[in-house]
Amino acid sequence: MTANPVQNINKKAHETKQATGSQALLEALIHEGVKTIFGYPGGAIMPVYDALYDYGDRLEHILVRHEQGAIHAAQGFARVSGKTGVVFATSGPGATNLVTGLADAMIDSTPLVCITGQVFAHLLGTDAFQETDVINIVTPVTKWAYQVTNAEEIPHVLAKAFYIASTGRPGPVVIDITKNAQLQLFDYQGYEKCLHIRSYKPKPEVRYVYIEEAAKVINEAKKPFVIYGQGVILGNAEQEFRDFIEKGNFPSAWTILGMGAVPTDHKLSVGMLGMHGNYGPNLLTNECDVLIAVGMRFDDRVTGRLDKYAKQAKIIHLDIDPAEIDKNVKSTVAVRGDCKETLPLLTVLVQKNENQAWLQQFRDCTIKETEKVIFPEQNPENETLTMAEVIKYINEITEGEAIIVTDVGQHQMVACRYVKMNQTRSNVTSGGLGTMGFALPAAIGAKYGAPDRQVIAIIGDGGFQMTLQELGTIMQANVNVKIIILNNQFLGMVRQWQELFHQNRYSFVDITSPNYVKLAEAYNIEAKKVDQRSELKSTLIEMLAHDNPFLLEVMVGKENNVFPMVPQGRGVSEIILSKEEL
């Protein structure tokens, strides 16, 4: 964030006027460039909604059907736009309904400012109606949480909230405002953006000596391998990253949240890491001699068993968050800092390289994976539809230009394995927390964050039923999202594990569905159901050309499994391509 001292003197200090806390709050949002709020009113936030009534020309409010929907929508908005998502909810249950989304945004580093109403300050601690100790409930799942009891605090607390949420490693912030503070009249001095907090360091100072050490290690490498995460996207460092890998010709693999930072069909893109990632990146993690990790945090789904993870390699770790360094994987050289600053410095020092034989090893792995998994999944011989062929047709129709929002489970893994992405900020999924029910509301927010782009939500039959009430939001606001339900009539990922690791004991994974077409029709949303291959592509074309929201249910194989797989407790190089290898 750059500071422009001249711009910041729009304080209107001379024209002090009386304002309520609620008005000061809405003024703060406008000064921060907020246009869209996702929310749900209630008793303890009514003064804010009353003020909002007069701000309709400047602030758009999307009424959701559940506060969880509001926060996931704000996450979707933030992920595709890079801006801070804003949520309003009332006290008590309104606030507690946000908790899942806060945890999700915290672990996936998504910038949010959530405003919760709170009971009058004199009632705090008395078990008043709809009172709950929000700050203590949300503290572990927020970057910052603060309670306001006096309206005079509102301008600078909001300024702090936006500064904290959006800078450094982003994250969610909760500001809990008591009703008296919302109503209170005070001398409004104007709004001043926050640019510095002495106890908060958004990013470490870059120390050139580590850049040099890192370059030295990289330049000695015979088999360098780059793995990157969402840090590249959050740092707006896509171009810097691309320059870096292109100069050294480094094979590069993404974590699920890093996907799309460089186009998936870039010549150096070798696929996705992780439990259901691609074969080559997992296998060759244990063969590279230098592993260069950029803006990623070595999640256990990426590393598999830690004592069998890249033990032969020297590790270069670039991260903005000092607490991530050496947390899971010990680094040989740690480069702390914003990768937008560190990558160009490193690019200058790394030598040009061909790495042809090494890149060929990745291509060989892709050939093997294509032969054993990808081709048969995308071109099945029997009549049963597969998730992979649905994604194949989406790729053909959208040519990699759509925003893909996924939920959690088999469909998520299949979508992220096969979907093509040309642009950054195209992949919206619940990575760290694995929140079923995320996709439908997140897709709504994504459409508001990128109104000119096609937004496709791909959801399983289980996850869809967790937040399907948001069809109401889509209906009311006519949000042009395309919803694909990949229905395998099971909680597929749990079923897969029960098949592979629990001797086929299918314990409560058999889930029935309502008639989704009728359901969508009840919400006045166009819908179709497909179970024949002959209709699949044409229906997808019809859906994506449709001007309004559209729901498509695709019946897919009931007991298909997602492969390759790094079984839990195994090393990444023990990745298997089929059940038989287990």
Catalytic residues: 67, 129-130, 179, 493
Does position 199 interact with other proteins (CB under 8 A)? The reply is yes
- Interface residue with other proteins among 15, 33, 56, 198 (CB under 8 A) is 198
Does position 311 interact with other proteins (CB under 8 A)? The reply is no
- Interface residue with other proteins among 216, 267, 558, 579 (CB under 8 A) is 216
Number of residues that bind other proteins (CB under 8 A): 35
3-state secondary structure of 37: strand
Instruction: Please identify, using beta-carbon distances, which residue of 198 and 352 lies nearer to other proteins.
Output: 198
Does position 334 interact with other proteins (CB under 8 A)? The reply is yes
- Interface residue with other proteins among 318, 333, 374, 421 (CB under 8 A) is 333
Residue 563 CB, nearest approach to other proteins (Å): 34
Return d(Cα 278, Cα 369) in angstroms, integer.
Answer: 8
Listed ranges 95-103, 119-127, 318-326, 357-365: which one lies at the site for other proteins (CB under 8 A): 318-326
Beta bridge partners of 209: none
Instruction: Please identify, using beta-carbon distances, which residue of 59 and 121 lies nearer to other proteins.
Output: 121
Please, what sign has the CA dihedral across residues 568, 571, 577, 582? negative
Does position 210 interact with other proteins (CB under 8 A)? The reply is yes
Return d(Cα 160, Cα 142) in angstroms, integer.
Answer: 14
Listed ranges 184-192, 300-308, 315-323, 357-365: which one lies at the site for other proteins (CB under 8 A): 315-323
Listed ranges 215-223, 406-414, 438-446, 538-546: which one lies at the site for other proteins (CB under 8 A): 215-223
Does position 331 interact with other proteins (CB under 8 A)? The reply is yes
Residue 91 CB, nearest approach to other proteins (Å): 17
Give, as ranges, the residues between 423 and 462 that touch other proteins (CB under 8 A): none
Residue 327 CB, nearest approach to other proteins (Å): 6
Give, as ranges, the residues between 235 and 294 that touch other proteins (CB under 8 A): none
Instruction: Specify the residue for token string 């890998």.
Output: 245
Residue 198 CB, nearest approach to other proteins (Å): 4
Instruction: Specify the residue for token string 């009353």.
Output: 50
The answer for residues whose C-beta is within 8 angstroms of residue 182's C-beta and 6 or more apart is 20, 21, 22, 25, 45, 47, 48, 117, 151
Beta bridge partners of 176: 116, 147
Amino acid at 519: L
Does position 217 interact with other proteins (CB under 8 A)? The reply is yes
Does position 201 interact with other proteins (CB under 8 A)? The reply is yes
Closest C-alpha to 407, from 380, 427, 388: 427
- Interface residue with other proteins among 209, 357, 545, 582 (CB under 8 A) is 209
DSSP 526-576: EEEEE--HHHHHHHHHHHHH-SS-EEEEEE--TT----SB--TTSBGGG-B
Whether the Cβ atoms of residue 480 and residue 551 lie closer than 8 Å to each other: no
- Interface residue with other proteins among 54, 187, 265, 326 (CB under 8 A) is 326
Give, as ranges, the residues between 335 and 364 that touch other proteins (CB under 8 A): 336
Give, as ranges, the residues between 107 and 166 that touch other proteins (CB under 8 A): 135-136, 139-140, 143-145, 164
Whether the Cβ atoms of residue 225 and residue 286 lie closer than 8 Å to each other: no
Q: 357 burial class (0-12, 13-18, 19+ CB within 10 angstroms)?
A: exposed
Residue 28 CB, nearest approach to other proteins (Å): 18
Number of H helices, E strands in the chain: 24, 20
Whether the Cβ atoms of residue 256 and residue 274 lie closer than 8 Å to each other: yes
Return d(Cα 498, Cα 507) in angstroms, integer.
Answer: 8
* Binding-site ranges for other proteins (CB under 8 A): 135-136, 139-140, 143-145, 164, 196-201, 203-205, 207, 209-210, 213, 216-217, 220, 321-323, 325-327, 331-334, 336
